[in-house]
Structures are given as structure tokens and as C-alpha cells.
Amino acid sequence: MLSNLLITQFSTLALLTPPVAAEYMALVPGAIVSVLALIIILVDSFHRPGTRRDYLAYFSAIGLALAGFSAYVLWDNTLAGPVFNGMLYLDKFGLFFAILACLAGGLAVLQAPSYMRLVRMDRGEYYMLVLFSVAGAIFMANAADMLTLFIALEVMSIPVYCLAGYLRRDGRSAEAALKYFILGAFSAGLMLYGISLIYGVTGTTSLEFIGRNLSIIIHDPDPAGALASGNLITVGMLLIFSGFAFKIAAVPFHIWTPDVYTGSPAPAVGYMSTAVKAGAIAAMLRVLLIAFEDPVLRGGFNGFGWLDVVFFCAAASMVLGNVVAIMQKNVKRMLAYSSIAHAGYLLVGVAASSASPEFFLHHDTVLFYLATYTAGTVGAFGVLSILGKNGRPVETYDDLAGLGLKYPVAGVLMGLFMFSSAGVPPFGGFVGKLYIFSSAVQVGNTTGEFSFIGLALVGVLSSVAGAYYYLKVLVSMYMKKADEKADTEMVMTSSAKVSLFASALLTLALGIFPGFAIEMARESMVDFQGPSATTQKVQEQGRQQLEEMRQKEASSRVVADGVPQG
């Protein structure tokens, strides 16, 4: 029977056909960032010694803003199905993450000049490393094939390993880099082995074809041309998931996080805890929702599958991250454990929305949460990278003692970011958490599967516990007495000002007017390319709802405008 045959990817002739002009649009945001990074390499190579490199920060930030803006322009010009012979997608989902990565990268490069003054070094590599990593994150979110996904993952990760070891005079930075590198390469190896097993079973590396072929193999006892082995599929799936779990720092793949975050330069940590996480989450959703979409692989209600693994990782990350963070004395280390907890919240969103195809659009909670998390976390690390004590950047709670009163601007900003991360209204983090947990409760209610409500409960309780350590930062900044003998400083360059105020503004805006971002996230999920026919129906319903909502809004606006005239 023909339907039993597995789909092989493309004929050789098709591979040799150049892409048409419209397909190049898929490259635009990533290409802008990559070209910018190359230009910065050249500019830095011919830099006049003895002058500061602050202009590189502005240059990179403007370029990243341009790339983000290009993604916004492309927003309504997406293409159905993969482009470049099935290598990349051009859909709103990818563009959303492109904007997010550009945002995180832009905020992180603007913080660098202050930090460089604090640590007394000035090297141009920081900017190009961040830019290359942003390019990797963008392509990772757009990947439609395991090949592009893997290369983008490495393009995103390798610069971040270098960023971790950026402080050349600091042995701890070298140690952080080594730990991140060895474990990162190890997890990439695990993931690759998983990809190779899945390739062996399905005979293709394209996500969509993997999805279709896996369905054929699972539901047909003896399909033609398949290596019929459920074990290979399970092992491959778990190995691929472990690679992503490492990148987003979810328990049990979180061991590297505290050490790496403590040893690395603060602005780079802000970047690596947000953009890298976003890129990995995007690719993970692509793989799980396109390649492993089949209900049998998904598991949950009717057997063991990836949903159970995500569920476990979510619960473990939330509990472990929040509990261990309470015991920390170092603020960077505390933020590392809290980043593990945030990975847990994100996975709650993934698990709940994957419970069944009808909740597909609930994945927008994950996207929105990532936006709020990015604004809050990059901002918090930004404050840490402008404050210094005794000639080095602040790190511990004791270092921060009394600085809130001494430097009111830094104090107020830190308060804002901490409140947002802790989930205090009216800041972004609160809306993000509310959105994720209410979605989980709704899924639990609708399906009658109360484990999701339990998961949401664990999340709410652990985030309440988490508020303690966030507020402890503010307690030491405002209530503790400053060390009189210590020589504290605040290096507030104009670029750092731009970065910090932008993150603060974004945190507030996402908390007070979340509608805009939520609508963008919802549209991204509606436009998500590649899932099966069942999910496409859900997406179609979502599209209609969005349109109705817009029409209603438009008509109410007409009425509102009409009233004073009439």
C-alpha cells in the first residue's frame, strides 16, 4: 500500500533548485544580525588603541533594533510551510522569538560599557559574541529541520561559552566557561545521538516528515521501509529532550547553572539566561509539537510519553529552584537558582498546553511569560553590572547592603525587577505567572485531569516561597547598614541608562497593558507552521476568534469615536 511507504525528503534535483526571492525573507532578521557581527569584527580589528569601545555598544544595539524591527515588518508577510528546501520557517512564531532574542541581546550589549569600566577591561569581542549568539537563537526559533536546528543551537551556544570565560584575569570566569563548555558539548552530543536515532527510524531530518513518518510507523504494525522499533523512538526522543532541558536549565539538567552564572560577567549572564532559554524553548516547542506530535508519543492520559517527562521536569524545577535559591548568599547564584525555577514555570505552560491538541493555542502563555521574564531578568543583571564594591562588581547580599539608599536610581530599578520576578502586581512577572497558572487550571478543569491543577498549585506555592529571596535583595539594599569602609561605586554610562530604563519600561508595560503582547503571542501560535490536521483545525478556530475580536474592537472604536461627534 502506498500510504505505508515512508516519506523521504526531497529528490536530489529539488535540492539543487535555488530558493525563490520571497523565501529569502526568512533570512532577513538573522542575516541582519550576522552581517552586523561581521562588520563589528572588522571595525574592532581596526580599532584605534587607547580609545574606548563604547560606540560598538550603540552600533550593535541599533543593528539589533533594526533586526527586531525587520521581524516586526515581516509580521504580516509570513509564508505557509517551510522554505529553503524545508530548512527554515517564516512564521509569526519564529518572528516573535526573533524579536525577543534581539531585545535580550540589545539590552545586554548596552549594559556592557558600564561593566567593562567596573572590571577595567575593554574588549570588542563581547559585542560580536552576543550578536553571533543572537543570530543563532533567531535561526533556532525558525528551524524546520533537525540540521538547521542543530547548527543554530551550536551557533547560539559556542559564543556563550566564550562569554562565560570573558574575564581573562578572573580564574572563576575560566572555571565557569570550562563547566559550561564541557557540559554543553556533552548535552549537544546526547541530543545529536537522539537525532541520529530518529533519523534512522524515519529516514528524514525534516521535522514535518519526521512527524508524519513516526505516525505511520506507530500506527502501522509493519510499515514498508521502517526500522520498526518503539525503543529507538523513545530513546531518541528522550535524548533530544535532554538536550533542550540542558539549555533551558531544567531539573535534572541544571547542575551547571549556579556555577556558570556566578563566574560569568553579569551582562552576559543576563543574556544567557534569557535569549538562550528563549531559543531553546522555541526549538523545543517546534520539535515536540511538529516531530513528536503523535498522541502516542505525547503520552499523558493514555501512557508514557514526553508530556510526562515535561510534567516531572516542571514540578522538580519549580520546587528545587525556589527552595535552594532561599539558601544562597550570593545574588548571582540566587538568580541562577531562580532561573531554574522560571524554567519550571515555563515547562508548566508547555505541559498544560500540550495536554491535548484542543489547548494548542494555550502555548501563548509560554511565549508571553518569556517576554516578561526577559525584561525582568536582563534588567536585574543590568543593575548588578553597574554597581561595584572595592573595585569589583557586586555579587553577594552583603555587597549590596545600603546601596539602595546611596544610589536611589539603582535601588528603585532593582526593586522593580525583583518585584516583577517575584510576581507582584502590577509588574510583568505577575501577569505572566497568572496567565500560565490559570491556563493550567483551566486545562485541568476541562479535561478532568487534576494533576494539572496540582501542578499549578505547586507553582503558586513555590513562587510565593520564591518571593522571600527576591525581597531579601531589597531588604539588604534598603534596610541593612552600608559598610562605611567599603569603597562602593555606580558606573552609570548613558548606554546602561538606556538599557535599564528600557527594561523597566517594558516590565511595567507588560504588567499594565499586557494585551498587546498577549495578542502577539496568540497570533504566533495561530500562525505556527507544521502541526497535524487536528491541530490545524484548532489554529483555524483561533484565527477566526482573533478576527472577530479585532472586528469587535474596531466597531467599538468607531462607536466610541462616533459618540462625541453625534
Partner 1 sequence: MFEPTLTHYLILAAITFCIGVFGVMVRRNAITLFMCVELMLNSVNLTFITFSKYRVDMDGHIFGFFVMAVAAAEAAVGLAIILHLFRHKRSVDVERADALQL
Partner 2 sequence: MQIADYSALMIFLVLGVVVAGAISALANQFGPRNKTKQKVLPYESGSNPIGSPQQMRFSVKFYMLAISFILFDLETIFVIPWAVAWKQNDMLGHGLYALGVMLVFVTILTIGLVYEWKQGGLEWD
Q: Which stretch binds partner 2 (CB under 8 A): 9-17, 186-194, 228-236, 422-430?
A: 9-17
Asked whether the beta carbons of 359 and 92 are under 8 A apart, the reply is no
Whole-angstrom distance, CA of residue 292 vs CA of residue 305: 10
Q: Which three cell numbers stand for residue 44?
A: 574592532
Whole-angstrom distance, CA of residue 78 vs CA of residue 90: 5
Whole-angstrom distance, CA of residue 509 vs CA of residue 103: 15
Using DSSP, state whether 389 is helix, strand or coil. strand
For residue 336, give every residue at least 6 positions away whose Cβ sits within 8 Å of its Cβ, in sequence order, or none.
257, 258, 260, 261, 262, 273
Q: Which stretch binds partner 1 (CB under 8 A): 8-16, 36-44, 56-64, 367-375?
A: 8-16
Q: How far is the CB of 431 from partner 1 (least distance, A)?
A: 34
Whole-angstrom distance, CA of residue 350 vs CA of residue 436: 9
Query: Which residue from 353, 370, 368, 348 is spatially nearest to 539, judged by alpha carbons?
Result: 353
2 binds, among partner 1, partner 2, none (CB under 5 to 8 A by kind): none
Whole-angstrom distance, CA of residue 253 vs CA of residue 340: 10
Q: Which of 41, 59, 326, 330 binds partner 1 (CB under 8 A)?
A: 330
Which position has the grid cell 543590568?
Answer: 382
Q: Which stretch binds partner 2 (CB under 8 A): 36-44, 52-60, 373-381, 453-461?
A: 36-44
Asked whether the beta carbons of 251 and 316 are under 8 A apart, the reply is yes
Q: Is 13 in the site for partner 1 (CB under 8 A)?
A: no
Rounded to whole angstroms, what are the CA distances from 311 to 344, 349, 375, 419, 501? 9, 10, 26, 27, 36
Q: How far is the CB of 12 from partner 2 (least distance, A)?
A: 9
533 binds, among partner 2, partner 1, none (CB under 5 to 8 A by kind): none
Q: Is 508 in the site for partner 1 (CB under 8 A)?
A: no
Q: How far is CA 217 from the centre of its chain?
A: 32
18 binds, among partner 2, partner 1, none (CB under 5 to 8 A by kind): partner 2
Q: Which three cell numbers stand for residue 117?
A: 569600566
Using CB under 8 A, which residues numbered 379 to 418 contact partner 1? none
Q: How far is the CB of 41 from partner 2 (least distance, A)?
A: 5
Q: Is 16 in the site for partner 2 (CB under 8 A)?
A: yes
**At what angle are helices 331-353 and 451-478 packed, to 10 degrees?**
160
Q: Is 18 in the site for partner 2 (CB under 8 A)?
A: yes
Query: Which residue from 392, 486, 335 is spatially nearest to 173, judged by alpha carbons?
Result: 392
Q: How far is the CB of 123 from partner 1 (least distance, A)?
A: 14
Q: Which three cell numbers stand for residue 52?
A: 574606548
Asked whether the beta carbons of 214 and 292 are under 8 A apart, the reply is yes
Q: Is 45 in the site for partner 2 (CB under 8 A)?
A: yes
Q: Which of 44, 125, 154, 519 binds partner 1 (CB under 8 A)?
A: 154
Q: How far is the CB of 21 from partner 2 (least distance, A)?
A: 12
* CB burial readout 544-556, b (16+ within 10 A) else e: eeeeeeeeeeeee
Residue 269, CB-side half-sphere exposure with 13 Å CA sphere: 35
Whole-angstrom distance, CA of residue 436 vs CA of residue 429: 11
The residue (of 9 and 532) whose beta carbon lies closer to partner 2 is 9
Q: Which of 46, 50, 76, 169 binds partner 2 (CB under 8 A)?
A: 46
Identity at 413, one-letter amino acid code: L
Q: Which three cell numbers stand for residue 143?
A: 528551524
For residue 471, give every residue at least 6 positions away whose Cβ sits within 8 Å of its Cβ, in sequence order, or none.
418, 422
**Mask 217-256, x = binds partner 1 (CB under 8 A)?**
--------x-------------------------------
Using DSSP, state whether 536 is helix, strand or coil. helix
- Count of chain residues binding partner 1 (CB under 8 A): 47
165 binds, among partner 2, partner 1, none (CB under 5 to 8 A by kind): partner 1
Q: How far is the CB of 185 from partner 2 (least distance, A)?
A: 15
445 binds, among partner 1, partner 2, none (CB under 5 to 8 A by kind): none
Q: Which stretch binds partner 2 (CB under 8 A): 41-49, 107-115, 382-390, 396-404?
A: 41-49
Q: Which of 5, 22, 42, 327 binds partner 2 (CB under 8 A)?
A: 42
Whole-angstrom distance, CA of residue 295 vs CA of residue 288: 11
185 binds, among partner 2, partner 1, none (CB under 5 to 8 A by kind): partner 1
**Mask 176-195, x = binds partner 1 (CB under 8 A)?**
xxxx-xx--xx-xxx-xx-x
46 binds, among partner 2, partner 1, none (CB under 5 to 8 A by kind): partner 2
First vs last Cα of the chain: how many Å apart? 69
Query: Which residue from 361, 354, 371, 372 is spatially nearest to 546, judged by alpha carbons?
Result: 361
Q: Which of 59, 72, 199, 301 binds partner 1 (CB under 8 A)?
A: 199
Q: Which stretch binds partner 2 (CB under 8 A): 34-42, 88-96, 447-455, 480-488?
A: 34-42
Q: How far is the CB of 182 from partner 2 (least distance, A)?
A: 18
Q: Which of 7, 25, 41, 151 binds partner 2 (CB under 8 A)?
A: 41
Using CB under 8 A, which residues numbered 49 to 68 contact partner 2? none
The residue (of 156 and 251) whose beta carbon lies closer to partner 2 is 156
Q: Which three cell numbers stand for residue 552?
A: 469587535
Q: By CB under 8 A, name the binding residues for partner 1.
A: 8-9, 12, 146-147, 150-151, 154, 158, 161-162, 165, 168, 171-172, 174-179, 181-182, 185-186, 188-190, 192-193, 195-197, 199-200, 203-205, 225, 258-259, 262-263, 328-330, 333
- Chain positions contacting partner 2, by CB under 8 A: 13, 16-18, 38, 41-42, 44-46
